[in-house]
Each structure stands twice: as C-alpha cells, then as structure tokens.
Structure 1
C-alpha cells in the first residue's frame, strides 16, 4: 500500500483546483470511510505495540517506527463503534495532523480515489449532530463517510483551549468595530477559533465550507456593504466539502471587490507544501491548527493592518 502513496508532486498539483485524493478504508463492517491522502504518511501492517498504563482506552499502545514513537488509536472505538479486535492482522494509517504524528488502526484499506471537492458534501441535516461524520461522498454508488478526525484527536489527546494571559492586547478606544469571517466544516474547529475571537472581543460570522463563505461574501456585496472595509479578516480551513480553502482564496483574489481581503489559511495539514500553496493561491498567511496563542497573535496583527489601511484610506 505504501507504493500507492508515492508521487506527492502529482497530488500537489491537485491543490488549488478544488480536487483531492481520498484513501478509502473499513473499520470492521461493510461501511467504507475516507481520509485525505495529504494527511497520510504511510499505510503499514500493525507493528508490535507497547501498552501504556492508564492511557485513554482508545489508545491501543505505542509503536516504535523508524526511530520515533507514535500512539496507535483504535479509530473504530474512538468514534463510538465496536473495537476492531486483534490488531496483529490489521493495518495502521500513519497520519500527520497539526504537526503531530499518530497512527489509526483500521480493519482494512481499500484504495485511493481522485475526486473533486464539489463531490464531497456536508452530511444530511441532523445526521452529523453528535457524530464523528464531517462529510460524505459517493464512490461506486456507495456512501463514503469522512470522519471528523479533529474531533477524535481533541477527545483523545486534548490540548490548550484558552489564550494564555498577556497574549491578547487591550483594544484601543479609537479602534473601529471589526468583523471576521471564520470558515471550517468541523464544528470543533469552529468552536476553537470563535472562542479565541470571543476572548478578543471581535465580532464574527461563521460558514461551514468555502462555497457557503463565497455566497456570504457575494450576498454582502449585493446588500451594498463595502466588504473590504467592513470585513477585517477571513480565517479559512483548507479541507472542506463543496469548495476547499485554496479555491475560496483564489475566488476572493479574482473578484475585483474582494481581492484585497486579508485571508489566513488555518489547517491541520502540515509541511512546506502549505507554505507554497499560500503563495500560489494568494493567501496572506498560513497557520497550523491548533495553537490558540499563535492564532490570537496573528489575528491581532491582521486586525491592526486592516485598521491602519482603513485609517489611511479615510
């Protein structure tokens, strides 16, 4: 299976064209699931594991892989289903999220499919509430569920929730009211970012994917808003149903009344690939998830830039 994951250069060309590749797998039943290949480092047969006393019950143990130690998570149990069982004959999908490497134990791995983000759809209304499903798609006339891995990792690993004391600066009395558009298909990620914005006292609007965000921007223009002056910042995830963050940024840059908007891409995808894509699609910056202090500092910087630009043009 590792050979299937070769050819990163080819997959890099998909980004910015609203395309992705999904690795399909099963967790024990007939249902197939998908994960973005860009988050996958390799797929291996489950190695020997060392149990960790008093660890989260979904963590089967740790494995030593090429000189590094990584946690192996029973993905089926992590999403509330039955444990996968004897791990020795199963597979591990080694992934990188938020600059951390972990392995997800799965029952079997199917194949990789090349898709358009327009084919990745939000779950039916009401179906995703309280579940770990962040999107769905169809392959071979079969429903494929895409798991909200950020929710899984938050529950298993945890992490810093609040901005540290001293990071958020007191807003100047003459600072104009500022508005932020926050775009992410993960409810966990939206709550994490909006919690920071609330701590900063900044008004915001949320959207669940790039298409909804673009429709909001165009709606505001139709309503007569001077969006570039009113909207201080767009914070967007990269991986989203219907329209990804790269394509949203590209659409903003190509619109004459939106092209000067400040855009930060906020994503769990790691590596230098993202930095090159920031330049390619015209985003202002890239921020890995989840670092509330860094997010707060970057948001403050861009809000100040926007306020300075408004004062200069006044």
Structure 2
C-alpha cells in the first residue's frame, strides 16, 4: 500500500473480485503494525477501507479500548485502538496514524493501528493455529502465517476483539428440538468465541455436538467417521445430521471443505450450513457455488437456531 491513498482506495474497490479467492483455498491479508516488532494481518474481506486517523469525538462511558466515535458517510461508528485492546500500548499513548474500517458480524468498526503496509496473498494451508505467541496477544490471534521473506504474521481474531470490547452476544430463548438427544451436529470454527456461542445454541436446542478447530482437522475427522461407518455397514447419516462450517479457517477454508463434503457420496443427505462473519452477497454466492444448503451471518443465535431447526426436524428421526 506504501502510503498511497489512491492505491489504497483502488485495492479496496475490488471486494467482489476478491471473492473468487475463497474457493481456491487462498486468502488476502492486509498487513499492519501496532508500533511493536510484531507483524499483524487481517483478512481483506473484513476491511472496507483504509484512511489516515480522522478526528474522533471522545464520548464518556465507552468500553476500554474504544477511543470515541466518528461519522462515516452518515453512519456513526465506534473507533477502537487495537494496540490498547491487545495490551501493546498504554491507554494514554498517542493514537496510531491509520484507521482500518472493518465490516463483519453485522457491525462496522474503526480499528486504529500504527501503520498499514500492504496486501499479501497466502495459501490457507500455510496458515497455522497460533503457537508461541506472546501471552498478552494470544487470545486475540486466530492464526499465524509466514511470508515469503520469512516474516511471521499474526492474523487477528476480530470476533474475539468484538466480544472482548462490547461483550458476548446474548443467546435468548431457544426452544429445544423434540428427540434432540438423538440428533448429532458436527461444527467447525477457528474462533474460540464462535465455538463457545455455537455450543450454547446447540445446547439450547438439546442436540449432541462435536467440533473441530480448523478445516483440515474437520475434514480428517469427517473422513474418519465416514470410513468407520462404511466398515461397520452403517450410513454416515446415522452418525451426523448436520455439518456447520465457518468460511475462513487455517489449513483449509470452509468453501474447500464444503466442496469436499459435497463431492463425497458418503455424505449424501447431510446438509451443510455455512456460518460466517463474512456476510456479503459475494461470499453468499461463493457458498452457494460450492453447494452449502444455507448461509448464516454471525452471530445471531436465533437466526442460526431457526435455520438449522427445520433441517434437523425433517431428518430421519423427525421431531
């Protein structure tokens, strides 16, 4: 990006074009700095635009890390200091020189950073779960990748930033499914916050569930379940009633995972629901292209429950 505002704008004008990356098991990350020696990245799909730090209206009683509010094309949005939230800068430290406007989980937020570098393309299979990350930032990092120049980049878990700053989404009243104890859901998500909230919804529905933390782990476990069902003369449909997948995940994204599932006849009849903080029409279209049976934007517990309930009820067991 090299501090060229026009270049930044041009890069961020191509959101729909970048959606084609999703099915190729590649992602683009925007590199940024928080004024330390660490290198950070965020999935470009979640970034709407980048600008210099604007004038921010300070407001009282804001959560820790929220610097204030700005008006952006008629919308008032909160602005967060990522360095402060990750514990890398003092609360009274000067604001960073750049702001990333992010859009995910039905929220628009401004993220203040020290500087923005450039966009790089990485293969999902080169993205790993975080290990040996400094303890202060580990809970906010969803993955690590290595660039061609050897630099390690920590990829931000924006869902954890959102939950940590504004609190967890409250799961309201969700009626249980009849015979739910006989229903099995397999879900995969690389965010600990998301796994916790999904588990809460499934517990309210009264169904049994297992989970994986990335796409490759999920595919390996699903293949193992399918092989075991074959060996014992059972249908996999007797073991799994529904598969819930995230879109972005280390080692294998949800689009490739879904394509693998839909191409394997052993999974015939098992619905796949994509549950993602990437809620643009381009991402929905990509999900449809690889064969998902439904696409649900994170995180609305009632919508998630209402989407999967009929799929579980009309299955072989009934409700």
- Alignment TM-score > 0.5, same fold: yes
Structure 1: unaligned runs, 5 residues or longer: none
Q: After TM superposition, give the deviation of residue 57 of structure 1 in Å.
A: 2.2
- SS of the residue corresponding to residue 13 of structure 1 reads helix
Q: Which residue of 2 aligns with 1:294?
A: 303
Aligned pairs for 1:158-177 (under 5 A) are: 158-164=167-173, 167-169=174-176, 171-172=178-179, 177=182
Would you say 1:150 and 2:156 are equivalent positions? no
Would you say 1:90 and 2:97 are equivalent positions? yes
Number of residue equivalences: 305
Q: Which residue of 2 aligns with 1:23?
A: 30
- SS of the residue corresponding to residue 283 of structure 2 reads helix
Aligned pairs for 1:174-185 (under 5 A) are: 177-185=182-190
- SS of the residue corresponding to residue 113 of structure 1 reads strand
Q: Which residue of 2 aligns with 1:210?
A: 215
TM-score under structure 1 length normalisation: 0.91
Aligned pairs for 1:120-269 (under 5 A) are: 120-124=127-131, 131-139=139-147, 140-164=149-173, 167-169=174-176, 171-172=178-179, 177-224=182-229, 225-269=234-278
Q: After TM superposition, give the deviation of residue 91 of structure 1 in Å.
A: 0.5
- SS of the residue corresponding to residue 218 of structure 2 reads helix
Change beyond 3 A, Cα 1:125–1:256: farther
Pick from 50, 54, 70: which aligns with 2:57?
A: 50
Q: Which residue of 2 aligns with 1:38?
A: 45
- SS of the residue corresponding to residue 288 of structure 2 reads helix
Pick from 278, 281, 293: which aligns with 1:272?
A: 281
C-alpha contact (below 8 Å) 2:30/2:43 kept by paired residues: yes
Pick from 110, 120, 125: which aligns with 2:117?
A: 110
C-alpha RMSD of matched pairs (Å): 2.1
Would you say 1:71 and 2:73 are equivalent positions? no
Structure 2: unaligned runs, 5 residues or longer: 1-7
Cα distance in 1, alignment partners of residues 181 and 189 from structure 2: 26
Q: After TM superposition, give the deviation of residue 170 of structure 1 in Å.
A: 5.0
C-alpha contact (below 8 Å) 1:168/1:297 kept by paired residues: no
Pick from 279, 291, 294: which aligns with 1:285?
A: 294
- Per-residue CA shift, 1:9-50, capped at 9, x if unaligned? 431221111111000000011211010101110000011011
Q: Which residue of 1 aligns with 2:5?
A: none
Cα distance in 1, alignment partners of residues 175 and 157 from structure 2: 29
C-alpha contact (below 8 Å) 1:197/1:204 kept by paired residues: yes
Pick from 10, 16, 20: which aligns with 1:13?
A: 20
C-alpha contact (below 8 Å) 1:20/1:36 kept by paired residues: yes
Q: Which residue of 1 aligns with 2:3?
A: none
Name whichever of 40-49 and 124-133 sits farther off.
Answer: 124-133
Change beyond 3 A, Cα 1:298–1:18: same
TM-score under structure 2 length normalisation: 0.90
Q: After TM superposition, give the deviation of residue 275 of structure 1 in Å.
A: 2.1
- SS of the residue corresponding to residue 218 of structure 1 reads helix
C-alpha contact (below 8 Å) 2:176/2:206 kept by paired residues: no
- SS of the residue corresponding to residue 231 of structure 1 reads coil
Q: After TM superposition, give the deviation of residue 159 of structure 1 in Å.
A: 4.4
Q: After TM superposition, give the deviation of residue 141 of structure 1 in Å.
A: 0.1
C-alpha contact (below 8 Å) 2:273/2:292 kept by paired residues: yes
Q: After TM superposition, give the deviation of residue 131 of structure 1 in Å.
A: 2.3
